[in-house]
Amino acid sequence: MRNLFFLTFILLLFNCKEASKKTKKITKNRGLVTDKAMVVSAREEASKIGIQILKLGGNAFDAMMATEMALAVAYPYAGNLGGGGFLIYRLSDGEIGALDYREKAPLAATKDMYLDEDGNVISGKSTVGPFAIGVPGTIAGIFKAQERFGKLDVKTILQPVINLADTGFTITDNQERRFRNYDSIFTVVNRKQIPFNKTVKSGTNFTNTYLAKTLERIANNGRDEFYKGETAKLLVDFLQAKGAIITLEDLAKYEAKWRKPIQFQYDDLTITSMSPPSSGGVCLNQIMIMVEDFDLSDYGHNSLKTIQVLVEAEKRAYADRSYYLGDPDFVTIPQETLTSNVYLENRMKDFSFEAATAVDSISHGKILGYESEETTHYSIVDQFGNAIAVTTTLNGGYGSKVYAEELGFFLNNEMDDFSSKPGEPNYYGLIGAEANSIVPEKRMLSSMTPTIVEKDGELLMTLGTPGGSTIITSVLQTILNVHEFDMTMQEAVNAPRFHNQWLPDEIRMEANSFDKGIINQLEAKGYTINESRSPIIGIVDGILVLDNGKLEGGADKRGDDTAVGF
Ligand code: GLY
């Protein structure tokens, strides 16, 4: 009788566990689920236009052109014609590739262009105003991708974007706040009030007819309109009047480049991410291999042990980033060694759960402060099974703040992603090595990490995020959230994030999102916690292929991001 009672108790317990597991599954917070296709981006208008292009029979590369330009209209904070970016793609037949449309240093750039006669960095020169601008790559990038893989003609793709610029989009609360905050710097840099200013209110309609005209010329005349045509002349006249060093020759020489992406295995996942001149893929590869042998799912999400392992691997990867990485067309990067299992095993040899590893025991005492965080990412899966991950940027919010009013767009301040003076912090606290010093036509080092994940040879996920140096660790945590911690795409992008980048010697955490007991234990082990650096870390957008073949969108709650699909 007693045995029967015990057995019943065990069965009940088991059933309760099963029931609670089932309940947990039912109550999972899923993002938008669709059958065939999806676009997730920083603005609903851009996601909708991407989907509109897919519904017209276009594919992910046609939708890329439309979405990227729609972000330039409706999300000028980071969407752009005056910046650059990176694309990772996976075609329906499994072919993988990468496109680099990163900005370049102008021909007249010099290694010391941001230093005064005493060799000190001139504050602000690489971040604000005409000297901060790198040669833009975005138009070259979207055309190169669309020409090779797209199906529709450019006029069909750009027409809805031109209409959006002409008829306008609705200003969000976030945009009103930003226009208010940036109003005075816009006015100082442009020596007049520009259309994006503190009088623009949330909920109102905002049109950009100059941008509509620029896009119309590009739609009619193609890629070269931006690099050699009337738009190029208008842009260079405008920039030179402002004192910038970019010339028509700079624009004419710009080319986007196909690159071999970084690819590696983590458990049963194949992960493909961006190669140099972005540090994203190399660092993601290094961190994931360094943590692979630890039982993260057993330790638990954002548990003490998980945080420790990730932080220590991040420290080591960012120390390497600082020293070795730069534009591969200009510097030799020991990529194979940096990503080899033997090297990475060795890197983690001195890790212990007992105490934080001291940063000065890790590596070359060079790099890095915080990069600016204003970039944007979109992910697309089309109805043909192609997937893309695209991260694009002006660098800082609204880039250099230089606004070419008659063209309707902002110019980047990407020159600040170079190390202005190797070995010393620049305006944003960045310290860099020789590998990332300024050379004419060189591309500046990036952290952008557009990433595609496959499982058993099939597409599993496409994702990425803005966030400067925190891009890499945000992408990392999102992949682990799905793979190790069984989260949905939406839960994975929403989950609280932390970040370590070797220097400064601190774990940055999203405020009030982590267990205080764990924070105390980390501090007791010698870690410094910074919960006040910024309220959020990254704004991840991703798409997950579910077991039934449907697509789940993860549009990060931290922004105005939206998934749209069918
Ligand atoms: N400008 C940010 C990055 O490229 O990482």
pLDDT above 60: residue 367: no
For residue 49, what are the CA distances in angstroms to 55, 156, 160, 275?
10, 12, 7, 29
- Residue bearing the CA closest to ligand 1, atom 3: 446
Q: What is the pLDDT of residues 15-60, one digit of tens each?
A: 433 333 333 445 689 999 999 999 999 999 999 999 999 999 999 9
Which 3 state secondary structure label does DSSP give 340?
coil
Q: Say how many Å lie between the CA of residue 108 and the centre of ligand 1.
A: 22
Report the alpha-carbon distance of residue 451 to residue 471 in Å, rounded.
Answer: 11
Residue pair 403/410 in contact (Cβ under 8 Å)? The answer is yes
Q: Say how many Å lie between the CA of residue 416 and the centre of ligand 1.
A: 9
For residue 337, what are the CA distances in angstroms to 145, 183, 324, 333, 344?
31, 47, 11, 9, 9
- Closest ligand 1 atom to Cα of 445: 4
Residues with Cβ within 8 Å of residue 252, at least 6 apart in sequence: 227, 228, 232
Q: Which pLDDT does position 276 carry in this prediction? A: 98
How far from the centroid of its chain's Cα atoms is residue 530's Cα? 22
Express as a percent the part of the chain with pLDDT over 90: 86
Q: Which long-range contacts (CB under 8 A, 24 or more apart) does 182-190 make?
A: 182/397, 182/398, 182/401, 185/128, 185/401, 186/398, 186/401, 186/403, 189/128, 189/129, 189/400, 189/401, 189/402, 189/403, 190/401, 190/402, 190/403, 190/405
Residue pair 35/113 in contact (Cβ under 8 Å)? The answer is no
Q: Which pLDDT does position 423 carry in this prediction? A: 67
Q: Which pLDDT does position 431 carry in this prediction? A: 55
For every residue of 396-443, DSSP letters joined together read STTTTS-EETTTTEEB--GGGGS-SSTTS--TTS----GGG---TTPB
Which 3 state secondary structure label does DSSP give 276?
coil
Q: Which pLDDT does position 426 carry in this prediction? A: 47
Q: Mean pLDDT for the chain?
A: 92
Buried b / exposed e over 497-516, threshold 16 CB at 10 Å, is bbbbbbbebbbbbbeeebee
Residue pair 500/470 in contact (Cβ under 8 Å)? The answer is no
Report the alpha-carbon distance of residue 50 to residue 66 in Å, rounded.
Answer: 6
Catalytic-labelled residue, pool 375, 449, 462, 488: 375
* Best mutation site among 133, 370, 415, 417 for ligand 1 pocket (most ligand atoms within 8 Å of CB): 417
Report the alpha-carbon distance of residue 185 to residue 173 in Å, rounded.
Answer: 20
Q: Which pLDDT does position 535 carry in this prediction? A: 84
Band (10; pLDDT cuts 50, 70, 90): very low
Report the alpha-carbon distance of residue 286 to residue 315 in Å, rounded.
Answer: 11
Report the alpha-carbon distance of residue 251 to residue 247 in Å, rounded.
Answer: 7
- Closest ligand 1 atom to Cα of 444: 4
Q: What is the pLDDT of residues 497-546, one digit of tens each?
A: 999 999 889 999 999 999 999 999 999 999 999 998 878 999 999 999 99
Q: Which pLDDT does position 373 carry in this prediction? A: 63
Report the alpha-carbon distance of residue 560 to residue 557 in Å, rounded.
Answer: 7
Q: Which pLDDT does position 72 carry in this prediction? A: 98
Residues with Cβ within 8 Å of residue 525, at least 6 apart in sequence: 308, 354, 355, 356
Q: Say how many Å lie between the CA of residue 423 and the centre of ligand 1.
A: 19
Q: Which of 169, 165, 159, 207 is nearest to 62 (CA)?
A: 159
Ligand 1 site, CB within 6 A:
371, 375, 393, 395, 417, 446-448, 468
- Closest ligand 1 atom to Cα of 396: 1
Q: Say how many Å lie between the CA of residue 153 and the centre of ligand 1.
A: 31
* Best mutation site among 415, 446, 472 for ligand 1 pocket (most ligand atoms within 8 Å of CB): 446
For residue 520, what are the CA distances in angstroms to 222, 359, 529, 532?
58, 20, 9, 16
- Closest ligand 1 atom to Cα of 393: 1
Residue pair 448/471 in contact (Cβ under 8 Å)? The answer is yes
pLDDT above 90: residue 171: yes
Which 3 state secondary structure label does DSSP give 96?
strand
* SS3 per residue for 192-237: CCCCCCCCCCCCCEECCHHHHHHHHHHHHHCCHHHHCCHHHHHHHH
pLDDT above 70: residue 14: no
- Residue bearing the CA closest to ligand 1, atom 1: 395
Band (372; pLDDT cuts 50, 70, 90): very low
Q: Where are the alpha helices (DSSP H) in 92-172?
A: 138-149, 154-167
Q: Which pLDDT does position 361 carry in this prediction? A: 79
Mean pLDDT confidence for 257-263:
98
Q: What is the pLDDT of residues 284-337, one digit of tens each?
A: 999 999 999 999 999 999 999 999 999 999 999 999 998 899 999 999 999 999
How many residues belong to the chain? 566
431 CB-side CA count, 13 A: 17
375 is catalytic: yes
Q: Say how many Å lie between the CA of residue 132 and the centre of ligand 1.
A: 14
For every residue of 458-478, DSSP letters joined together read EEEEEEE---TTHHHHHHHHH
Q: Which amino acid is it at 294? A: F
DSSP state letter for 371: P
Q: Say how many Å lie between the CA of residue 417 and the centre of ligand 1.
A: 7
Band (495; pLDDT cuts 50, 70, 90): very high
Which 3 state secondary structure label does DSSP give 136?
coil
Q: Say how many Å lie between the CA of residue 443 and the centre of ligand 1.
A: 11
Q: Which long-range contacts (CB under 8 A, 24 or more apart) does 261-269 make?
A: 261/88, 261/96, 261/97, 261/98, 262/335, 262/339, 263/96, 264/288, 264/289, 264/339, 266/292, 266/479, 266/483, 267/292, 267/483, 268/455, 268/456, 269/453, 269/454, 269/455, 269/460, 269/479, 269/483
* Best mutation site among 318, 375, 473, 499 for ligand 1 pocket (most ligand atoms within 8 Å of CB): 375
CA dihedral sign of residues 338, 339, 340, 342 = positive
* Best mutation site among 430, 449, 471 for ligand 1 pocket (most ligand atoms within 8 Å of CB): 471
Q: Pairing relation of β-strands 541-545 and 551-555?
A: antiparallel
Band (420; pLDDT cuts 50, 70, 90): confident
Place of tokens 């071999």: 260
Residue pair 550/473 in contact (Cβ under 8 Å)? The answer is no
pLDDT above 70: residue 118: yes
Q: What is the pLDDT of residues 333-357, one digit of tens each?
A: 999 999 999 999 999 999 999 999 9
Residue pair 390/100 in contact (Cβ under 8 Å)? The answer is no
Place of tokens 């409706």: 74
Mean pLDDT confidence for 181-191:
97
